Amino acid sequence: MNFLAHLHLADISNTSLAGNIAGDFCRGNIADHPKHLQQGIWLHRKIDTLTDRDESVVALKHQFPAPLRRVAPILIDLAFDHMLARYWDEYHHQPLSQFSQRCYQQLTNTEQLPATLGALSVKMQQGDWLGSYADKDGFHQAVNGVSKRLSKPELFRGATQALTKLDVDIEIAFRTFYPQLMAYSRLWTRQTPEQYL
């Protein structure tokens, strides 16, 4: 899952929006990070682990052309954000534009964010990254943006074409898996280890 999905899952499970998205930027022992982010980091890791192991997600990875398989997990995360934004009204009661602004505001107001996330959140808000996932151009721009932040952008060559070709398969995998992930997120929130609360 990428930014939008992690924020959505945080919201429906009543956990910290900033904590959940911080999970991508916090390495090592959860206890070494600020207390107000710990539950979100823990939930983020549970979400990522389940996503990586899910049969429908694993099968989808193998549908990507061989040269893209190394980055297929990243592309699927981005594609699932695109699907969530595209069909947002089916998954959340608040309009995506309002939800996005609430997320940006909370990130801005959260203290002790990882430095990388703090800098990135400014760019997210300025470019409305969360809202832009909803249309294909914004989605492809997000893919290109991620490729430029990695050390080997050439690994993404042909990515947008492959994603377009696999659009229906991605939607099937998303619609199969994401409702389960929503249910697990709510369940895990009740099972958060006491030391992270």
pLDDT tens-digit readout, 76-131: 999 999 999 999 999 999 999 999 999 999 999 999 999 889 888 999 999 999 99
- pLDDT higher than 90, residue 153: no
- pLDDT higher than 90, residue 35: yes
- pLDDT higher than 90, residue 37: yes
Looking at residue 150, what is its pLDDT? 80
Looking at residue 18, what is its pLDDT? 94
The 8 Å CB, 24+ separation contacts for 71-75 are 71/155, 71/156, 71/159, 74/146, 75/143, 75/156, 75/159, 75/162, 75/163
| Band of pLDDT at residue 1, cut at 50, 70 and 90 | confident
Looking at residue 189, what is its pLDDT? 92
**Average pLDDT of span 169-192:** 95
Higher pLDDT, 1 or 20: 20
Looking at residue 73, what is its pLDDT? 95
Count other Cβ atoms within 10 Å, centred on residue 57. Answer: 21
Please count the residues of the chain: 197
**Average pLDDT of span 34-46:** 95
Please give the model's pTM, rounded to 2 decimal places.
0.94
**Average pLDDT of span 24-33:** 92
Q: Report percent pLDDT > 70 for the chain.
A: 100
Looking at residue 151, what is its pLDDT? 78
Mean pLDDT of the chain: 93
Q: What is the pLDDT of residues 9-26, one digit of tens each?
A: 999 999 999 999 999 898
